[in-house]
Amino acid sequence: MTAVAGAHVRLVDRLEASGALTPDWRQAFLGVGRHLFLPDLFWVSTSDGYERCDRTENPERWLQLAYSDAAIVTQWDDGADNGQREPTSSVSMPTMVASMLRDLDVQEGHKVWEGGTGPGWNAGLLAERQGAHNVVTVELDPAVAAQAAANFRALDAVPTTVVGDAADGYPPGAPYDRGILTCSVREVPPAVIGQIRPQGVLVLPFAPLFGGGAVARLTVAGATAAGPFTGSSAFMRMRQQRYQAPPVDDYLPGDWPGGAVREFTDLSPLGVVDDWLASFVVGLAVPDLYYRRSDGGDMTTLWLFDTGVTSWATVDFVDGAGRYEVRQSGPRRLWSEVEEIVRWWVKAGRPGFERFGLTVAGGAHRAWLDEPVNLLPSVKG
């Protein structure tokens, strides 16, 4: 067995042993090598930032990372090389790929739409399992789509690859039995829902504006889609849904703190935003809320804003403090809204991702706990 084949089999074995990879997907994963979708130069996230790996310099390390359970960055800054160093295309973590395909529950003959081709590994797996004629994948970035098309040439089954906006779905191939997004959204595109057959399934990473993220498994019924979250996720945002915040001066003309009311809280602001689950719950309940943080010396300031540009708040975190200074301004009390939903969540026993769900209807998104009738506090009524 070659080094590549050995690394490939070991990864598939690990995924199956963990439960992420179900037996019906094993042959597809064995039939499509992950290394075929990776460039010679890529980056892997570590606790210290990103590790650069060049195949020409260290082929052994390159192969090791290619078959590791880690997401691999293949593009920065939409390919603009503008120095911002934001990852904008990747090959996803194998555990996440396997678990989302498990959630998709494809059956023989199902036609599948994918939004966000990236380098193409996920679409390649689908084509291997379903047959190329049953898979359509859409990629917005022409350069990324071209690279995926080149990667697909190493496969026996090549899916239909479209350069276009995933938010539009792909009407010429509709309707689809299954749909999957490989980029996160804060609003589920209605066009995509409309192209899934009744009782079809749409799997996607849902990431509220405030923070956190989880995979949603939605069952479609006409223009409505509803279902539970199945676990935590962290994906790059769909490009069209990246939020461009207005300048702070639009909220606070003049010097801080303006006419803001001074208060105190015993809820740690970093205890909220640094907790992936807690920030996700806040984001579900208050979808128009976002924050920025300012770190300086011994204090971190959390700035809260609403997308309607009506209100703002600040919370100052000092390590070891029992209380934290709050300033709130505008018709809404944004930090009070955060406190309310966190108190509700704690009182409910800190339920995890899998107990929450989402209903999308008529463009509205309603989050719930356990059952669709149990709406989160701030979305009731």
For residues 81 and 202, membership in a common domain is answered with: yes
- 103 and 136 share one domain: yes
Burial 204-225 (b: 16+ CB within 10 A, else e): bbbbbbbbbbbbbbbebeeeeb
Q: Do 115 and 230 belong together in one domain?
A: yes
Q: Are residues 9 and 109 in the same domain?
A: yes
Pair 196, 310 in one domain = no
Higher pLDDT, 148 or 378: 148
Which residues form the catalytic set?
92
Is residue 374 assigned to a domain? no
* One domain for residues 126 and 171: yes
User: Could you read off the pLDDT of 164-185 as tens digits, one per residue?
Assistant: 999 999 999 999 999 999 999 9
Tokens of 24: 């019906």
My answer on whether 276 and 160 are in the same domain is no
The domain in which residue 272 lies consists of: 248-347
Shared-domain flag, residues 282 and 230? no
CATH number for 233: 3.40.50.150
Q: For residue 358, is it within any domain?
A: no
CATH number at residue 321: 3.30.160.690
Q: Name the packing angle between helices 94-104 and 3-18 (round to 10°).
A: 50
Residue 153 lies in a domain: yes
Output the CA torsion sign for 264, 270, 275, 277. positive
Looking at the domain assignment, is residue 292 inside a domain?
A: yes
Residue 381's pLDDT band, with cuts at 50, 70 and 90, is very low
User: What pLDDT digit, counting tens, does each position of 42-64 carry?
Assistant: 999 888 889 999 999 999 999 99
Continuous segment of H or E residues that includes residue 151: helix 142-152
Q: What are phi and psi of 234, to 5 degrees?
A: -145, 100
Whole-angstrom distance between the N-terminal and C-terminal Cα of the chain?
62
Give me the percent of the chain exceeding a pLDDT of 70: 98
Closest-CA residue to 129 (of 107, 147, 154, 144): 107
Count, residues in the chain = 381
Whether residue 353 is contained in a domain is answered as no
Give helix 3-18 / helix 59-66 axis angle, nearest 10°. Answer: 30
Give the pLDDT mean for 331-335: 96
Whether residue 338 lies inside any domain: the answer is yes
CB 308 within 8 A of CB 287: no
CB atoms within 10 A of CB 172: 8
On whether the CB atoms of residues 379 and 250 are closer than 8 A, the answer is no
Select from 222, 239, 256 the last residue of a domain. 239
Q: How confident is the model at residue 256, as a pLDDT?
A: 86
> How many structural domains compose the chain?
2
Q: What is the pLDDT of residue 85?
A: 82
Is 303 in the same domain as 164? Answer: no
Does residue 74 belong to any structural domain of this protein? yes
In the predicted model, what is the mean pLDDT of residues 221-226?
A: 95
Is 363 a domain residue?
no
- CA distance to 145, 235, 255, per residue, from 242 (Å): 20, 12, 29
Supply the DSSP string of 75-142, one letter for each residue: EEGGGT--S---EEEEEPPHHHHHHHHHHHT--TT--EEEE--TTSHHHHHHHHHH-GGGEEEEES-H
Of 208, 239, 270, which residue is a domain's last? 239
Does 189 lie in the same domain as 135?
yes
Lowest mean per-residue pLDDT among 50-59, 227-236, 293-302: 293-302
Residue 109 and residue 173 in one domain: yes
Inform me whether the pLDDT recorded for 379 exceeds 60.
no
Claim to verify: residue 276 and residue 207 sit in the same structural domain: no
Q: Which residues pair with 216 in a beta bridge?
A: 204, 229
The helix (run of H) or strand (run of E) holding residue 162 is strand 160-163
Residue 203 φ/ψ, nearest 5 degrees: -110, 130
pLDDT beyond 80 at 246: yes
| Stated pTM of the model | 0.95
